[in-house]
Amino acid sequence: MTAADRVYAIIKQRILDGQYAAGSYVREATIGQELELSRTPIREALRRLVSDGWVEVIPHHGARVVSWTQRDVEEVFELRVLLEPQVVRRAASRIDAPRLDSLGELACHMEQLCERGDAQAIDEIATLNDRFHAELITAADSPRLQRLLEAIVQVPVSRRSFHHYSDEELYGSMRHHREIIRALAAGDGEWAASVMRAHILAARAAQLHPPARHAQQPRQQRIRSAR
């Protein structure tokens, strides 16, 4: 692992932690002194962060942590609604039994974590959910599709989205996972794509309209205790 790799990981982590706030500048010299490195590896790390969409460079002025507006989030969901169904549409005719089993285990593990329901469990669900989608992308076997999705699905958004979920939304998400697996096992790409589309649209609804949940809170409680 090179110094540039480490710098890349460190800066990215600090952006995720909120240590580097959106809109603030990441100074090459500052990081360099702190990590006792020259500007060269820092620059390379910053360029990679730019191409990954984490920071933007203003020529001769600096690298700024990107700010996410509501509009940005909507744009990403709009594209995910197109691309993620395509992932499973392709995967349906290409996935093999071992990977299906692997998906099943991930779904099972996520469901168990759902039962716990605490904040840490939510975090773990988010991690497993990422792996679930990553498995699907691998099964889809389309490097370009993978690249496009990696380019737009920024972890800070997807990671936090689970915390916005109501119990109903969370369990709905788990049911989607199961149904996607069934559709893939059946080799039915359109079925899988439809479920995935619903899956993404549900995520968007939870992300964009969290206040609506409050009015339904009592009903969710009933559903939760009913399981």
Partner DNA sequence: ATGAGAAGAGTTGTATACCATTTTAGGTTA
Partner DNA sequence: TAACCTAAAATGGTATACAACTCTTCTCAT
Binding-site partner at residue 150 among a copy of itself, DNA, none, CB < 5 to 8 Å by type: none
Provide, rounded to whole angstroms, the least separation between the CB of residue 151 and DNA. 21
Residues that bind DNA (CB under 7 A): 2-4, 25-29, 36-41, 43-44, 57-63
Judged by CB under 8 A, does residue 22 bind a copy of itself?
A: no
Binding-site partner at residue 143 among a copy of itself, DNA, none, CB < 5 to 8 Å by type: a copy of itself
Q: Considering only residues 37, 148, 157, 202, which one is a binding residue for a copy of itself as defined by CB under 8 A?
A: 148
Provide, rounded to whole angstroms, the least separation between the CB of residue 75 and a copy of itself. 5
Q: Considering only residues 86, 102, 127, 220, which one is a binding residue for a copy of itself as defined by CB under 8 A?
A: 86
SS (H, E, C) the chain: CCHHHHHHHHHHHHHHHCCCCCCCEECHHHHHHHHCCCHHHHHHHHHHHHHCCCEEEECCCEEEECCCCHHHHHHHHHHHHHHHHHHHHHHHCCCCHHHHHHHHHHHHHHHHHHHHCCHHHHHHHHHHHHHHHHHHHHHHCCHHHHHHHHHHCCHHHHHHHHHHCCHHHHHHHHHHHHHHHHHHHCCCHHHHHHHHHHHHHHHHHHHHCCCHHHHCHHHHHHHHHHC
What residues from 66 to 85 belong to the interface with a copy of itself (CB under 8 A)?
72, 75-76, 78-79, 82-83
Binding-site partner at residue 222 among DNA, a copy of itself, none, CB < 5 to 8 Å by type: none
Binding-site partner at residue 83 among DNA, a copy of itself, none, CB < 5 to 8 Å by type: a copy of itself
Of 64 and 178, the one with the shorter C-beta distance to DNA is 64
What span, in angstroms and rounded, lies between the C-alpha atoms of 8 and 21? 16
Provide, rounded to whole angstroms, the least separation between the CB of residue 8 and a copy of itself. 11
Distance of CA 197 to the CA centre of its chain: 15
| Site residues, a copy of itself (CB under 8 A) | 1-2, 44, 47-48, 51-53, 59, 72, 75-76, 78-79, 82-83, 86, 142-145, 147-148, 151-152
